């Protein structure tokens, strides 16, 4: 293998640039030519493919977002779009791809290899931490810290006004951000898609005479089965009309900002190992870190399995919020 390309696809995550940087520098180390594909699979179809060198990634390790941009490509879901993408790679002699993204990114890479034989290695890039085969995904640690810092600030005004705040964090299908940021931020209750009956629990907690607190913080994952933060707040206010309930939706602020040291190191490890894996003939696998060791997981397995929250952390949450 002499030429590979790298792309970022799906939602952006802090640390993607650190991963791109690692891929480029690993290619230089192994004497490979490397190309950057702008705007993910859509850029692959539209031939937005450019040579990159180590100087292309100077001074980006601390930057959020992705210098290669990202996009969700409907065209790549069609045989015609993938055929055009393959032709563009053939014209440049590119023999493999490092794909940084989530389940959709892995699915596209797997189908592309099956149809045209272009091997890919995946690096898990999503703040949701919902990908199987790795303890943490690129961007997750930064998102937790961003949410925690916001909760800390909200706590000040909640205390000052004796208010109850419902803070909504990202995680339509995953409660990882809500659980860890809630524990770190000292939340009195956490709502996540993976668990139920949280509303009954916080009502019981609020009514407890042993808990004489004049304000409270509840963290809500945006996809929680109990409903989003506004719906939960309305239900709570209806039961306790004397309370002053407020909602704060953190939204996309969780995706931005400078990546933490953990995310930079994780991303660097994953990018370098993805390049070496392609050289070694691996394909259709995601690179992850489990118990601090590098682990390879097939795209098929990573897509099919759902990564649940850690039970011991949920138990901890139930203990320390009482």
Residue 210 has pLDDT above 50, yes or no: no
Tokens of 304: 């099919």
Checking if the pLDDT of 47 tops 70, the result is yes
Asked if the model's pLDDT at residue 211 lies above 60, the reply is no
Separation of CA 146 from chain center: 13
When pLDDT is averaged across residues 38-51 and rounded to a whole number, the result is 97
> Which of 298, 297, 270 is closest to 114 using CA atoms?
298
DSSP string of 130-193, one letter each residue? --TT-SS-BTHHHHHHHHHHHHHHHHHHHHHHT-EEEEEES-SS--HHHHHHHHHTT-SEEE-T
Rounded to whole angstroms, the Cα distance separating 127 from 187 reads 20
CA separation for the pair 216, 283 (Å, rounded): 49
CA dihedral angle for residue 286, residue 287, residue 288, residue 292, rounded to 10 degrees: 160
Q: Please state whether beta strands 33-37 and 49-52 pair in parallel, antiparallel, or not at all (unpaired).
A: antiparallel
pLDDT confidence of 288, banded at 50, 70, 90?
very high
Helices (H), 223-310: 229-239, 261-279, 299-304
- DSSP letter at 125? B
Q: How confident is the model at residue 208 (pLDDT cuts 50, 70, 90)?
A: low
Distance CA 165, CA 109 (A): 42
- Residues 152, 287: Cα–Cα separation, whole Å: 34
Residue 11's SS3 state is coil
Helical pair 261-279 and 140-161, crossing angle rounded to 10 deg: 160
Question: Distance between CA atoms of 270 and 249, rounded to whole angstroms?
Answer: 31
Which tokens sit at 184? 């770190």
Look at 139 and 196; give whichever has higher pLDDT: 139
Give the pair of three-digit tokens for residue 291: 């118990």
Enumerate the active-site residues.
Answer: 128
Q: Quick one: average pLDDT of 149-178?
A: 94
pLDDT at residue 201 in the model: 78
pLDDT tens digit sequence for 91-135: 999 999 999 999 999 999 999 999 999 999 999 999 999 999 999
Predicted confidence band of residue 282 (pLDDT cuts 50, 70, 90): very high
Q: Which of 73-77, 91-95, 306-310 has the highest mean pLDDT?
A: 91-95
Helix axes 176-184, 140-161, angle to 10 degrees: 50
* Domains contained in the chain, CATH given: 3-139+259-304 (3.40.50.450), 142-256 (3.40.50.460)
Q: What pLDDT, on a 0 to 100 scale, did the predictor assign at position 322? A: 65
Tokens of residue 226, six digits: 């109990």
| Position 225 confidence tier, pLDDT thresholds 50, 70, 90 | confident
3-state SS assignment for residue 99: strand
Q: What is the pLDDT of residue 69?
A: 97
Measure the CA–CA gap between 271 and 278, rounded to whole angstroms.
11
User: 213 pLDDT exceeds 70?
Assistant: no
* Cα distance from N-terminal residue to C-terminal residue, the chain: 57
**Does 189 score more than 50 pLDDT?**
yes
- 253 burial via Cβ count (<10 Å: 0-12, 13-18, 19+): middle
Quote the percentage of the chain above a pLDDT of 70: 97
- What pLDDT is stored for residue 204 in this prediction? 73
């Amino acid at each position: 293998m002499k030429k590979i390309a790298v792309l970022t696809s799906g939602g952006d995550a802090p640390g993607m640039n650190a991963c791109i940087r690692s891929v480029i520098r690993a290619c230089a180390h192994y004497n490979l030519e490397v190309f950057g594909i702008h705007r993910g699979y859509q850029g692959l179809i539209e031939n937005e493919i450019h040579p990159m060198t180590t100087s292309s990634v100077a001074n980006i390790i601390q930057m959020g977002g992705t210098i290669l941009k990202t996009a969700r490509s409907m065209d790549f879901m069609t045989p015609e779009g993938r055929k055009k993408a393959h032709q563009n790679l053939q014209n440049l002699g590119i023999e493999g791809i490092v794909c940084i993204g989530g389940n959709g990114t892995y699915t596209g890479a797997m189908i592309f290899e099956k149809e045209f034989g272009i091997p890919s290695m995946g690096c898990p890039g999503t703040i949701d931490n919902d990908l199987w085969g790795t303890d943490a995904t690129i961007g997750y640690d930064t998102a937790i810290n961003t949410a925690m810092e916001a909760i800390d600030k909200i706590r000040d005004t909640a205390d000052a006004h004796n208010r109850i705040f419902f803070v909504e964090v990202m995680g339509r299908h995953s409660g990882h951000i809500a659980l860890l940021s809630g524990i770190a931020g000292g939340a009195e209750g956490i709502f996540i898609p993976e668990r139920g009956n949280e509303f009954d629990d916080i009502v019981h907690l609020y009514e407890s005479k042993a808990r004489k607190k004049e304000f409270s913080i509840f963290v809500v994952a945006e996809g929680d089965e109990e409903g989003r933060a506004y719906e939960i707040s309305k239900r709570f206010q209806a039961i306790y009309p004397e309370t002053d309930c407020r909602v704060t939706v953190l939204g996309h602020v969780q995706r931005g900002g400078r990546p933490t040291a953990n995310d930079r190191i994780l991303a660097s490890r994953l990018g370098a190992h993805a390049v070496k894996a392609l050289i070694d003939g691996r394909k259709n696998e995601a690179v992850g870190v489990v118990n601090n060791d590098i682990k390879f997981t097939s795209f098929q397995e990573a897509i099919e399995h759902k990564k649940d929250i850690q039970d011991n952390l949920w138990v901890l949450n139930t203990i320390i919020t009482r």
